[in-house]
Structure 1
Amino acid sequence: MMRRQQVAVALAAAVLMGSPAVPRARQESEDARRVREAATVFGEIMRAEDKAIPRAILGGAEAVAIFPGTVRAGFIVGGMRGRGIISARTQGGWSAPGFLTITGGSIGLQIGGEAADLILVINNRRGLENLVSNQFTLGADAAVAAGPVGREAKAATDVQLRAEILSYSRARGLFAGVTVNGSTVRPDRDANERFYGKRLETRQIIFGPAPGTPAPVPLWLETLDRYTR
């Protein structure tokens, strides 16, 4: 009798492991990993202060978006594709992260198939509103410039100071301002739903009440707050 019960339990476990719930759980884990990787990327970049985003720029930023492991295609000029997150500044700190995708466009000198971490610093409300609209093209719907790097922001050019969005990239351990004109940013509604458990627009998440704090949101918000005060 005991042997039959053990066999039944084993069969039930096998059925559950083969059910559609497992791929969904794996996908949810991938979304959480995206948040955790964004926190890791931002922390690593900012700890190297001589080669980081100037604190003065981050201190006045309306929002920060990070696309970890964005894949760049082509040579010299090519497209890219990636998934990332964005948080906006609030009265009490930073909003919960909303999910985004980025595709197409060019990212300057590159090697085909290389993965890079892409960071966007949004300087004003107009740039933020545009970025979380249904579809936003960098360089066409708002002025975008390669951002300055280092301890001080006073080396920034007039173009950088006027830009609504500053863009940066890290590849092979090298971090620098980089142009991303022509790239298209869209809300990732499917990722929002998987992560928060309900259908949400990215703008609802960053402008509205926090929909929740699934792990590892606290890590992301703590890292963001540490370097943007």
Structure 2
Amino acid sequence: MRNLIASALVAVSILAAPAAQAQAPEKLVHRIEAAHSILHELMDTPDKGIPLDIAASAQCVIVVPAFKKGAFIFGGEYGQGVATCRTPRGWSAPVFVQMAGASFGFQIGGQSTDLVLIGRSHKAAQHLLHEKVKLGGDASVAAGPVGRSAQASTTELANAEFLTYSRNKGLFAGIDLQGDEVNQNVKDTAALYGDDVPYQKVLSGAVPTPRVAAHFIRTVNELFRKGRAQKAN
């Protein structure tokens, strides 16, 4: 009888898991899909994308689809993104982040761009565990190089914890995000995993990747793997 009850409970849990994942908020599924598409396009343009030797050194990857700039002369920047970090067991399940900052310069109307941030050190990964990280303040940052390799390395580039890229009209380029802030989006992360799952637990790799995010993590891993393969040759 006990075996029968145990088998029934296992069956219920197996059936419930896909149902729970299917209940992921639509806005979060859309955000993950957008981040996945950006990385795929990045890999399809090796001559105008993130150098593979940069990808090989990645410890964390943050993708912010449709980062918005607006207003006239003085504007604001704001975006919602997805982040994952490398662990001894592979890339972690994703967490959600927010980016915000001040935008100065001549701007007419609003515009948006896709952002990719590559964290290159364990220190960069640790920064993401803080509630808020100021780029250029708490963590060093530089506009990333573009192309098949980062041959034109500078001291600033070599020491940067984060390298930052933007995509506009299909083309990737380094972008200066000095002063912008990356914040944990605890609310959206809890909406995907539950209120009792800490941010740190997800990024440490202790939480299984939800089905809705599996393709995004596979793409991050593919980018990293291609970088490591080129570095080995």
- Same topology, TM > 0.5: yes
Aligned pair count reads 204
Match of 2:58 in 1: 61
Amino acid at match of 1:177: G
Contact preservation (8 Å) 1:192, 1:199: no
Q: Distance in 1 between matches of 2:153 and 2:105?
A: 19
Match of 2:215 in 1: 219
- The structure-2 alpha-carbon separation of the partners of 1:77 and 1:128, relative to structure 1 and needing over 3 Å to count, comes to farther
Instruction: Give the CA deviation at 1:34.
Output: 0.9
Q: Distance in 2 between matches of 1:61 and 1:140?
A: 20
Amino acid at match of 1:223: T
Contact preservation (8 Å) 2:91, 2:205: no
Contact preservation (8 Å) 1:132, 1:186: no
Give the SS at the match of 2:68.
strand
Match of 2:206 in 1: 209
Instruction: Give the CA deviation at 1:87.
Output: 0.6
Instruction: Give the CA deviation at 1:208.
Output: 4.5
The equivalences for 1:7-86 within 5 A come to 28-74=25-71, 78-86=75-83
The equivalences for 1:47-196 within 5 A come to 47-74=44-71, 78-106=75-103, 112-196=109-193
Instruction: Give the CA deviation at 1:26.
Output: 8.8
Q: Distance in 2 between matches of 1:107 and 1:45?
A: 28
Instruction: Give the CA deviation at 1:45.
Output: 1.3
Match of 1:20 in 2: none
- The structure-2 alpha-carbon separation of the partners of 1:203 and 1:110, relative to structure 1 and needing over 3 Å to count, comes to farther
Q: C-alpha root-mean-square deviation of aligned residues, in Å?
A: 2.1
Deviation per CA, 1:49-74: give whole Å up to 9, x if none. Answer: 00010111111111100001111124
Question: For structure 2, which runs of at least 5 residues remain unmatched after alignment?
Answer: 1-21, 226-233
RCO comparison, higher one (Cα < 8 Å, 6+): 2
Q: Distance in 1 between matches of 2:106 and 2:123?
A: 29
Contact preservation (8 Å) 1:188, 1:202: no
Which residue, out of 195, 199, 205, partners 1:198? 195
Contact preservation (8 Å) 1:106, 1:180: no
Question: For structure 1, which runs of at least 5 residues remain unmatched after alignment?
Answer: 1-24
| Aligned-residue identity in percent | 36
Q: Distance in 1 between matches of 2:108 and 2:23?
A: 31
- The structure-2 alpha-carbon separation of the partners of 1:62 and 1:80, relative to structure 1 and needing over 3 Å to count, comes to same
Match of 1:7 in 2: none
When Rg is computed on C-alpha atoms for both structures, the one with the higher figure is 1
Contact preservation (8 Å) 1:34, 1:68: yes
Contact preservation (8 Å) 2:67, 2:115: yes
TM-score by length of structure 2 reads 0.80
Amino acid at match of 1:46: M
Contact preservation (8 Å) 2:92, 2:209: no
Give the SS at the match of 2:131.
coil
